[in-house]
Structure 1
Amino acid sequence: MPPGVELVAVQYPGRGDRFAERLVDDVAEMAGHVVAELLQLTRSDQVLFGHSLGAMVAYETAMLLRDMGEEPARLCASACLPPGQMKDRNVHMKPDDEFWATVCALGGIDPGIAADASLRELFIPTLRSDLRAHANYRPGSRTRPLSCPVRCYHGVGDPLVDESRLPEWAEVTTGEFTLTVRPGGHFHVATDVAGLVSDVVGRERA
């Protein structure tokens, strides 16, 4: 990170060092936990970046913060249709074999892991929980949009996101909306990481 920039990563329950905790499959609940943590930090020029399901959590977090008078400086949404939209809401309901094949086809899982039956059984519940949360999320009836800038990041060829629908993200804010297209499909965030970080951070420091 550049000098003066602090990266604060979100770790959801049921993952990493929180693996023993109950999985959460509700975006609003996830966002509530994130807000509680953010309010303990120094609140200056906070930029929220979320990828896929994380983009929905970041949006909901931004709205909750806005309602508390703590709207972020910018919302960055990656690999995700506008709030309340999802290309296939039934992915999480597929049988294990079909579900796993669908997830692996996105390219974000190492082939060695994809072929390991024990790891598959370990990851499937978490992935189902994520996709269930995304499928069931509805942004609610808030009548007042955000006012902060919103920037979308789209990976060329992402099978989960219809690029033509992304400009609809502009409807969630009265501020500036921008869209950038990058190589790498759904997991474009793993392509030119330095360039992505520079774009996110550089726009806020400009």
Structure 2
Amino acid sequence: MSGGQGSGRSAWIRRYKPAEDADCRLVCFPHAGGSASYFLGLTQLLAPEVDVLSVQYPGRQDRISEPSLESVSDLADQAYEALKPWTGKPLALFGHSMGAVVAFEVALRLAADGTVPLRLFPSGRRAPSLFREMFVHLLDDDGLLREVASLAGTDSELLADPGVREMILPSLRADYRAIETYRHSDGKRLDCPVLALTGADDPMAPLDEVRAWGEHTTQEFAMEVFPGGHFYLTDEMPAVAALLRSQIAAATRG
């Protein structure tokens, strides 16, 4: 498989450690400013029991020359199309921060097309129905980067590098615009279980707002709280991988 891509050879999908014999595929959606490689460690921890597909949004890494998308709807529409060749096995969806909302919207699109996801795992994000007025995408470059640094998502020394700043700012601003202008208004709910994950000290995802994900499914809902802040996943990846593995195994047995 060239470049970590699979049978669809889509620019949207990275498959770093193919697990052909796995019963389920876990599709991972990154945070604002993030890329598919954020999930490389998770991929290594879950293989070969789970076949991990990491979503690569345009405007970053090997897609740096492509224009970034500025709406969750566009991100979800195109990611959904890219996933169609991968629906031969059950799909579970994991998304962190902005990626949680993109994953939710992709799950709705898959379900509407007859492919109900096995599980949805939103991480580090309040429920889609809880709108919060935010304008980070309108800040100047320094303000935008300060916001990112405050969440500990990117090394502050990297953000001080002019070359890095120039490379990441367009996609970062587009992602913030996408998530800050997102509105969930149609009231559609999923018909699959939802397990929300979050950091105990995440300022962007208070526990009561994470718990509201339960209103977005007709099936079981649960929440798991890990030590840490918005990027708890960095330190808690082995524990998260163990949880995802057990959840997916239980779902596929059922």
TM-score by structure 1 length? Answer: 0.93
Q: CA deviation at 1:179?
A: 0.6
Give a deviation string over 1:33-62, Cα, whole Å, max 9, x none.
111121101432211000011001000000
Q: CA deviation at 1:86?
A: 4.8
2:227 corresponds to which residue?
183
Count of residue pairs the alignment pairs up: 205
Question: Judging changes above 3 Å, is the alpha-carbon distance between structure 1 residues 201 and 179 closer, same or farther for their aligned structure 2 residues?
Answer: same
Q: CA deviation at 1:109?
A: 1.0
Q: Which moved more, 1:42-51 or 1:19-28?
A: 42-51
Where structure 1 has 5 or more consecutive residues not aligned to the other structure, the ranges are none
2:208 corresponds to which residue?
164
Runs of 4+ in 1 over 6 A off after TM superposition: none
Q: Answer whether contact 1:78 1:154 (CA < 8 A) is retained.
A: yes
Q: Answer whether contact 2:60 2:168 (CA < 8 A) is retained.
A: no
Structure 1 position 134 matched with structure 2 position 189: no
TM-score by structure 2 length? Answer: 0.76
1:100 corresponds to which residue?
145
Structure 1 position 173 matched with structure 2 position 254: no
Q: Answer whether contact 1:87 1:160 (CA < 8 A) is retained.
A: no
2:109 corresponds to which residue?
64
Where structure 2 has 5 or more consecutive residues not aligned to the other structure, the ranges are 1-45
Q: CA deviation at 1:68?
A: 0.7
**RMSD value, Cα:** 1.5
1:45 corresponds to which residue?
90
**Percent identity over the alignment?**
36
Q: CA deviation at 1:130?
A: 0.8
Structure 1 position 80 matched with structure 2 position 125: yes
Q: CA deviation at 1:88?
A: 4.7
Q: Which moved more, 1:11-20 or 1:97-106?
A: 97-106
1:192 corresponds to which residue?
236
Q: Distance in 2 between matches of 1:3 and 1:131?
A: 34
Q: Answer whether contact 1:92 1:131 (CA < 8 A) is retained.
A: yes
Q: CA deviation at 1:184?
A: 2.3
Q: Answer whether contact 1:157 1:186 (CA < 8 A) is retained.
A: yes
SS at match of 2:95: strand
